[in-house]
Amino acid sequence: MQLVLVLHNLLRWAVLLFGSWTLVNSLIGYFGKRNYTANDNRSNLFFMISCDIQLLIGLILYVNNGWFDRLKHMGENMKDPYTRFFTIEHLTLMLLAWILVHIGRATVKRANTDGAKHKKMLIFFGLAMVLIVASIPWPFREAIGRPWFRIN
């Protein structure tokens, strides 16, 4: 299970990289009034795929590390910041981000104009990135911090 945790930790950087690439493309496209290109499509596709893989790995960790079982003791979980974060907050916010990424990708594909595609990219993927960044157990977060890079 340690290998799965290492993969989950390392893949967050891919999610952040592809999410940032998508946001930069949407900002340049929307404010620069440029055409929606294959590069724009590729960036949000890679963002979605990295989120999908991250979700699958995260769900494996959630079930196999006993976080799911802790839902039975909700009152106790809410008192401990570490347990509350990993049992409820991390899972809920990351699932919401994943949903936003998928809804965003679908609405971008259906948008009629290039401007509308860039605007929808900016809104949906921007909100998803806010949730993702807020939900990562960064090392500087007291009580829940994890290392920048987990290699063991």
Question: Is residue 84 a part of any domain in this protein?
Answer: yes
- pLDDT range class, residue 68, cuts 50, 70, 90: low
Is the residue at 72 inside a domain?
Answer: yes
The position carrying tokens 């998928």 is 102
Domain of 47, in residue numbers = 2-135
Calculate mean pLDDT across residues 9-22: 96
Mean pLDDT, all residues of the chain? 90
Q: At 135, phi and psi to the nearest 5?
A: -95, -5
Identify whether 146 is part of a domain. no
Residue 144: inside a domain? no
Altogether, the residues listed in the chain come to a count of 152
In a domain, 149, yes or no: no
Residues 78-99: what's their mean pLDDT? 88
Look at residue 11 and tell me if it is in a domain. Answer: yes
Q: Residue 102 pLDDT > 70, yes or no?
A: yes
In a domain, 82, yes or no: yes
HSE (CB half, 13 Å, CA atoms) of 79?
4
Q: For 40-49, write each residue's pLDDT tens digit.
A: 999 999 999 9
Higher model confidence: residue 63 or residue 46? 46
- Residue 151: inside a domain: no
Q: What predicted TM-score, i.e. pTM, was given to this entire model?
A: 0.88
| Count of the separate structural domains present in the chain | 1
When pLDDT is averaged across residues 127-137 and rounded to a whole number, the result is 95
Among residues 104, 59, 84, which one has the least CA distance to residue 144?
84
Which of the two residues, 8 and 84, has the higher pLDDT score? Answer: 8
pLDDT band at 70 (very low <50, low <70, confident <90, very high): low
pLDDT, mean of residues 138-146: 81
